[in-house]
Structure 1
Amino acid sequence: MVSSAHAYLGFLVLLAAERLVELVLSQRNAARAFARGGVETGHGHYRVMVILHSLFLVACGAEVLGLSRPFPGAAGYAALGVALAAQALRYWAIASLGEHWNTRVIVVPGLPPVTRGPYRYLRHPNYVAVVLELAAVPLLHGAWVTALVFSLANALLLRVRIRAEEAALGTAYAEAFAGKPRFLPEVHRG
């Protein structure tokens, strides 16, 4: 019989494999952007982001195994639901951006901002997915220290990342997204 910790480690391996596929897609899209005159900003914070996200998966497994975290039952299943919803949001954002999506801040001058998909409602739906994931994936198996530490570190990193990204995207982006919230969609009562 497979223990819940082993199942969790399997989940983390699948998540790591998915991230590798995303990196391949990102590199392909980055090469296309550079071929079209794309300009990259944010080199410094990108390295920190790569390290943070790489250590995240290791920390999840290390806390569960090293501190013998038990599966938290209903809370673990709820966290799994949040993690899967975060993945769905991430893929919706990636599909909406198409070849414009990558993990770096590369802007092709003259391209209009993407305002379809989840970008109709939010400026940064992919970052919402990341925030949800960094909280939910560790909590899936009771790794609350990892959830707390990496969520706080990610919040600090996102402050830098979003400022750099929005500055690089410029006036057209600012105008297109002037009335849209960054992270939480507005609910209008009618």
Structure 2
Amino acid sequence: MTSLAFFTVLVALVGLERLAELVVSKRNAAWSLEQGGFETGRGHYPAMVVLHTGLLVGMLVEAWVVRPDVPALLAGVMLVLAVASQGLRWWCIRTLGRHWNTRVIVVPGLPLVRTGPYRFLSHPNYVAVVVEGVALPLVHAAWVTALVFTLLNAALLTVRLRAENTALAGVGA
């Protein structure tokens, strides 16, 4: 299998993983709302969906159009980082359980989770997103996609973290 074919399969698998996340997220969001949860930060959510979809599409387009030479060391290190970011993401999902979803929904009265990766960081899922946004495109030397996603994601995370932290502070968390 060529490196480009491998990369295409890898990105497709990540796309399927994202669909699995959305199924979990939808189920968990419904549960949170049934428990009296409230959603904030709706305005940035469509931009987040477009950005993350654009990451998957952009790196494939860049890889297939540019067809860069991919140093084996770069590909290997970035693949390890991309897989590690998936592990961290699913550790976050598992730790938060029913509380995890892709939206900002807070259920009043529930304590903040301080176990799993949340023992070490307030927002470990966003660390996973940042690492993946750099590492996954660079598995096939898609430098432009990695750079554009990173810059746009930094702006989006500024808005997202503000909304999330405000919502959590509003319930005394």
Per the alignment, residue 135 of structure 2 pairs with 136
Contact 1:72 1:140 in 2 (8 A): no
Q: Write out per-residue CA displacement over residues 151-176 of structure 1, whole angstroms, 9 at most, x where no aligned residue.
A: 01000000000000000011633xxx
- The two structures, once aligned, show a CA RMSD in angstroms of 0.8
Query: Higher relative contact order by CA 8 Å / sep ≥ 6: 1 or 2?
Result: 2
Per the alignment, residue 187 of structure 1 pairs with none
3-state SS of paired residue (1:106): strand
Write out aligned runs for 1:173-184 (5 A).
173=173
Q: Distance in 2 between matches of 1:28 and 1:72?
A: 41
Q: Which amino acid aligns with 1:73?
A: A
Q: Which runs of 5+ in 1 are unaligned?
A: 174-190
TM, length-normalised to structure 1 = 0.89
Q: Distance in 1 between matches of 2:24 and 2:87?
A: 17
Per the alignment, residue 43 of structure 2 pairs with 44
Q: Which runs of 5+ in 2 are unaligned?
A: none
Q: Distance in 2 between matches of 1:128 and 1:53?
A: 15
3-state SS of paired residue (2:126): helix
Q: Distance in 2 between matches of 1:88 and 1:105?
A: 22
Q: Which amino acid aligns with 2:153?
A: N
3-state SS of paired residue (1:77): helix
Q: Distance in 2 between matches of 1:37 and 1:47?
A: 23
Write out aligned runs for 1:14-93 (5 A).
14-93=13-92
Per the alignment, residue 96 of structure 2 pairs with 97
- Structure 1 runs of 4+ off > 3 angstroms? none
How many percent identity over aligned positions? 53
Q: Write out per-residue CA displacement over residues 89-145 of structure 1, whole angstroms, 9 at most, x where no aligned residue.
A: 111111110000000000111111111001001000000000000000000010011
3-state SS of paired residue (2:121): coil
TM, length-normalised to structure 2 = 0.97
Q: Write out per-residue CA displacement over residues 29-83 of structure 1, whole angstroms, 9 at most, x where no aligned residue.
A: 0000111111001111111000000111000100000111222211110000111
Per the alignment, residue 158 of structure 1 pairs with 157
Q: How many residues align?
A: 172
Q: Specify which structure has the higher proportion of helix.
A: 2
1:8 aligns with 2:4: no
1:147 aligns with 2:165: no
